[in-house]
């Protein structure tokens, strides 16, 4: 067959075949020559090869193996799971668990506190039920601007879990996904619709007073006040109350 009659694909295949055969022949010839060469020649060749490999390896950037990014579904289920783990039930200390829970809240392990929406029915002394089945006494430490904070005794053995970051309302973006676990245990998703002086407005349904709302990372955005579906008390107010509570406790300890 005349080489001029070959197509482009056939020419490429022929070139690859020639290169392959040449490489194999070169390798065989090199090995044969090295077997017959004096020892010092073989050692010199080996040193050159090793040096070349080291130089190339040092110059080439290290390969970074990245784990696949989690899917949106993975983020949602993880955030809901974290929110559920922090959910607590609040009982009046006088009646204990013989009556239904008065409110629900969210446990902030780093602050050793429980945050919930402020209500007239909240007791001063409460019994907090955690998801692990533990019941631990708590006292109403601070209340104001739609938020109530319960604190525990210094020697109380509290469950260990990751504490959420409290997201300031200034850092929220319109359209950002928000997640919540309602008082009945049902999960809901929505978006941030507006941020105003009244709080954080979302498209979430009525999830119940005191239910925590988180972002896709499981961080706390706010707590439902129950008056208007989707309206939250922002996490800023929780931060302010926790700071006030901590400052008051420090001042009290200093005067003793």
* Predicted pLDDT at 226: 81
Query: Taking 70 as the threshold, does the pLDDT of residue 23 lie above it?
Result: yes
pTM equals 0.68
Choose between 22 and 119: higher pLDDT.
Answer: 119
Q: What is the DSSP letter of 70?
A: P
Say yes or no to pLDDT of 41 above 90: no
pLDDT of 248 strictly over 70: no
- What would the two tokens of residue 176 be? 């950002």
Mean per-residue pLDDT, 202-213? 94
Q: Tens digit of pLDDT for each residue in 185-201? A: 899 999 999 999 889 99
Mean residue pLDDT across the chain: 83
- The answer to whether the CB of 103 falls within 8 A of the CB of 150 is no
Burial class (CB in 10 A: 0-12, 13-18, 19+), 103: buried
Break the chain into its structural domains and give their ranges.
8-57, 85-163
Report the interhelical angle of 39-59 vs 8-36 (nearest 10°): 130
DSSP SS3 for 65? coil
What percentage of the chain has pLDDT greater than the value 70? 73
Exposure string (b/e) for 200-237, b if CB count within 10 Å is 16 or more?
Answer: bbbebeebbbbbbbbbbebbbbbbbbbeeebbbbbbbb
Q: Spell out the CATH class of 85-163.
A: mainly beta
Q: What is the pLDDT of residues 219-239, one digit of tens each?
A: 999 999 887 899 999 999 999
Is residue 69 over pLDDT 90? no
Q: Which residues of 60-87 are buried (b: 16+ CB within 10 A; e: fewer)?
A: eeeeeeeeeeeeeeebbeebbebbebbb
Give me the sign of the Cα torsion angle 205, 116, 101, 187: positive
């Amino acid at each position: 067959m005349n080489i001029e009659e070959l197509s482009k694909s056939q020419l490429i295949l022929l070139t690859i075949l020639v290169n392959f055969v040449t490489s194999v022949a070169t390798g065989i010839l090199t090995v044969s020559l090295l077997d017959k060469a004096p020892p010092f020649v073989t050692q010199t060749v080996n040193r050159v090869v090793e040096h070349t490999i080291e130089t190339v390896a040092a110059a080439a950037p290290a390969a970074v193996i990245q784990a696949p990014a989690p899917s949106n579904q993975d983020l949602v289920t993880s955030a809901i799971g974290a929110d559920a783990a922090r959910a607590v039930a609040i009982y009046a200390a006088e009646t204990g668990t013989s009556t239904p829970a008065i409110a629900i809240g969210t446990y902030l392990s780093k602050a050793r506190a429980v945050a919930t929406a402020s209500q007239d029915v909240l007791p001063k002394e409460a019994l907090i039920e955690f998801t692990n089945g533990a019941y631990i006494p708590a006292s109403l430490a601070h209340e104001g601007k739609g938020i109530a904070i319960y604190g525990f005794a210094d020697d109380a053995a509290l469950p260990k879990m990751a504490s959420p970051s409290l997201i300031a309302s200034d850092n929220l973006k319109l359209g950002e996904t928000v997640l919540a676990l309602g008082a009945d245990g049902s999960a809901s998703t929505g978006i941030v619709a507006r941020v105003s002086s009244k709080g954080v407005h979302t498209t979430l349904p009525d999830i119940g007073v005191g239910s925590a709302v988180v972002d896709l990372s499981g961080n706390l955005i706010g707590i439902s006040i129950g008056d208007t579906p989707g309206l939250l008390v922002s996490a800023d107010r929780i931060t302010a109350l926790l700071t006030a509570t901590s400052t008051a406790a420090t001042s009290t300890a200093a005067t003793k």
